[in-house]
């Protein structure tokens, strides 16, 4: 606390200081891929996490992130990637990137991980280092929350003794086309030198680095990206309900509209919006707007619509079973894919969870088929897991496709299942109904 060390001003040519090593605080679906990408770019990298089991297993070459296979992790280890839960080691690098979760807690932004990471960094911070926040958060967090922690606890001054910047992550899980390397990276520094040093850092790792004039504009850009998705997905979800009643094939309408080469980007209805970004990040923005005394109506309406989709899916399942003279109670319902989206192994915020809970409340017997998710417990106890689509199809009275992983043979499933509700518009067939 206080002046631990003589507050040395950054050298006049601070912005020209080379950056040859990077520490990353937080080794989740953002931090770990960033660490591997930074090693591949030739930086010396230290991966830090408070979870000692996580850093230990990573050091043994065991990855918990599907987008970082063990082979890629081992290659990075062979090229010097280090993992540790010892915060003192953070002092050894030119730059420190903070990539920790920013969840909601009872609908409110939870910055506790950012705050504790900031305190950890502040306690080791030394003159000359660059600190970058990557976590998605509301505009103002870097300058109003992180900066005071760093300055107060270190006795150093941002812009004078150390550099501070914001650079939002843009990791799209399971997207093999767009990677950390080829996705343009936004950077915004507290001052010109911080911006330039952040550019130097990310120019090692990313093919394109885009300077944003202010930190809050960069924080807002990230929220805009995800709010745009959130609202457009909700639009498709709301349209799916009335298109079904109007007996209009919305999927066909979307693919027709998508032939327009400008001014339209297709989004699709689904069983609900999962993951740790889209359902959450827009609420960070609406939280900030509410501080002005009025709601961010688009986001609040979109959240209401997206949150309603699991119930709608259960209603549609009931209707399909009813048409086959089967009550929901006692019927066998197979959940095909319990992850929050295809080709990821993450069931956080997955719509499969509320769907399973509601089906159990109605007395249905549920099981799941998901080769990427080892076990699934929506709160009403562990659910039986099938691995073979044929056997699963023969077991159930109806199958509902929620996350169509590319490794799952849906043709085999559809040939075996008496009824199928496809919430993703991925397959057709006489026994298949679409959302």
Nearer to ligand SAJ, 81 or 254 (CB): 254
If one asks whether residue 267 binds ligand SAJ (CB under 6 A), the answer comes out as yes
Question: Rg for the chain (alpha carbons), in Å?
Answer: 24
If one asks whether residue 274 binds ligand SAJ (CB under 6 A), the answer comes out as yes
If one asks whether residue 278 binds ligand SAJ (CB under 6 A), the answer comes out as yes
Binding mask 109-138 for ligand SAJ (x = CB under 6 A): ---------------------------x--
If one asks whether residue 312 binds ligand SAJ (CB under 6 A), the answer comes out as no
Residue of 205, 200, 190, 204 lying closest to 30 (CA atoms): 205
Nearer to ligand SAJ, 235 or 289 (CB): 235
Least Å distance, CB 206 to ligand SAJ, is 14
- Contact between residue 191 and residue 213 where contact means Cβ atoms under 8 Å apart: no
Nearer to ligand SAJ, 194 or 283 (CB): 283
Q: Look up 277 and say whether it is catalytic.
A: yes
Q: What is the rounded CA–CA span in Å between residue 267 and residue 424?
A: 11
Catalytic residue among 206, 243, 277, 396: 277
The residues in 319-378 that bind ligand SAJ, with binding defined as CB under 6 A, are 340-341
Least Å distance, CB 121 to ligand SAJ, is 21
If one asks whether residue 277 binds ligand SAJ (CB under 6 A), the answer comes out as yes
User: CB within 8 A of 262, min separation 6: which ones?
Assistant: none
Stretch in the footprint of ligand SAJ (CB under 6 A) among 88-96, 118-126, 263-271, 409-417? 263-271
Q: Give the binding-site size for ligand SAJ (rule: CB under 6 A).
A: 21
DSSP conformation letters of 148-194: HHHHHHH---BTTTBEEEE------TT-SSS-TTTS-EEEEESSHHH
CB-based closest residue to ligand SAJ: 270
The residues in 164-183 that bind ligand SAJ, with binding defined as CB under 6 A, are 169-173
Residue of 91, 97, 126, 129 lying closest to 114 (CA atoms): 97
Q: What is the rounded CA–CA span in Å between residue 151 and residue 161?
A: 10
If one asks whether residue 225 binds ligand SAJ (CB under 6 A), the answer comes out as yes
Tokens 């502040």, residue?
122
Q: What is the rounded CA–CA span in Å between residue 347 and residue 271?
A: 13
- Contact between residue 122 and residue 152 where contact means Cβ atoms under 8 Å apart: yes
Nearer to ligand SAJ, 172 or 388 (CB): 172
Nearer to ligand SAJ, 273 or 417 (CB): 273
**What torsion do the CA atoms of 76, 82, 85, 91 make, to the nearest 10 degrees?**
-130
Least Å distance, CB 323 to ligand SAJ, is 25
Stretch in the footprint of ligand SAJ (CB under 6 A) among 10-18, 57-65, 266-274, 369-377? 266-274
The residues in 232-261 that bind ligand SAJ, with binding defined as CB under 6 A, are 233
* Residue 345, burial from CB neighbour count under 10 angstroms (0-12, 13-18, 19+): middle
For residue 176, count other CB atoms closer than 10 A to its CB. 8
Q: How many CA atoms lie within 13 A of 151 on its CB side?
A: 14
If one asks whether residue 307 binds ligand SAJ (CB under 6 A), the answer comes out as no
If one asks whether residue 72 binds ligand SAJ (CB under 6 A), the answer comes out as no
User: CB within 8 A of 338, min separation 6: which ones?
Assistant: 347, 350, 352, 353, 356, 368, 370, 373, 376, 402, 403
Q: Which residues bind ligand SAJ (CB under 6 A)?
A: 136, 169-173, 225-226, 229, 233, 267-268, 270, 273-275, 277-278, 281, 340-341
Point out the residues that are catalytic: 277
């Amino acid at each position: 606390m206080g002046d631990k060390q003589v507050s040395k001003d950054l050298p006049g040519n601070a912005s020209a200081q080379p950056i040859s090593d990077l520490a990353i605080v937080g080794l989740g679906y953002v931090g770990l891929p960033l660490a591997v990408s930074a090693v591949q770019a030739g930086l010396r990298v230290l991966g830090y996490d408070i979870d000692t089991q996580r850093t230990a297993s990573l050091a043994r070459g065991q990855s918990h992130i599907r987008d970082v296979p063990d082979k890629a992790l081992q290659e990075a280890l062979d090229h010097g990637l280090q993992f540790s839960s010892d915060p003192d080691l953070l002092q050894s690098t030119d730059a420190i990137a903070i990539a920790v979760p920013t969840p909601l807690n009872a609908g409110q932004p939870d910055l506790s991980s950012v705050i504790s990471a900031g305190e950890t960094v502040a306690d080791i911070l030394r003159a000359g280092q660059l600190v970058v926040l990557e976590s998605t958060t509301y505009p103002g967090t870097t300058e109003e929350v992180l900066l005071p922690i760093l300055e107060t606890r270190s006795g150093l001054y941002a812009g004078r003794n150390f550099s501070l910047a914001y650079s939002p992550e843009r990791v799209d899980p399971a997207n093999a086309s767009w990677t950390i390397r080829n996705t343009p990276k936004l950077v915004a520094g507290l001052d010109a030198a911080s911006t330039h040093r952040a550019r130097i850092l990310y120019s090692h790792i990313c093919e394109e680095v885009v300077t944003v004039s202010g930190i809050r504009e960069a924080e807002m850009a990230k929220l805009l990206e995800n709010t745009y998705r959130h609202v457009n997905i909700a639009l498709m979800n709301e349209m799916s309900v009335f298109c079904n009643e109007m007996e209009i094939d919305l999927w066909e309408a979307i693919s027709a509209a998508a032939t327009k080469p400008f001014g339209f980007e297709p989004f699709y209805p689904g069983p609900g919006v999962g993951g740790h970004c889209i359902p959450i990040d827009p609420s960070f923005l609406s939280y900030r707007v509410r501080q002005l005394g009025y709601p961010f109506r688009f986001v609040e309406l979109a959240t209401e619509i997206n949150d309603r989709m699991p119930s709608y899916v259960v209603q549609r399942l009931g209707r399909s079973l009813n048409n086959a003279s089967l009550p929901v109670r006692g019927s066998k319902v197979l959940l095909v894919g319990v992850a929050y989206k295809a080709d990821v192994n993450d069931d956080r915020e997955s719509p499969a969870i509320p769907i399973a809970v509601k089906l159990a409340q109605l007395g249905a017997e549920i099981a799941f088929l998901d080769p990427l998710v080892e076990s699934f417990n929506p709160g009403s106890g562990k659910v039986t897991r099938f691995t073979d689509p044929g056997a699963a199809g023969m077991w159930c009275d109806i199958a509902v496709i929620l996350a169509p992983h590319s490794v799952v043979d849906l043709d085999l499933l559809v040939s075996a299942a008496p009824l199928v509700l496809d919430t993703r518009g991925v397959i057709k067939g006489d026994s298949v109904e679409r959302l």
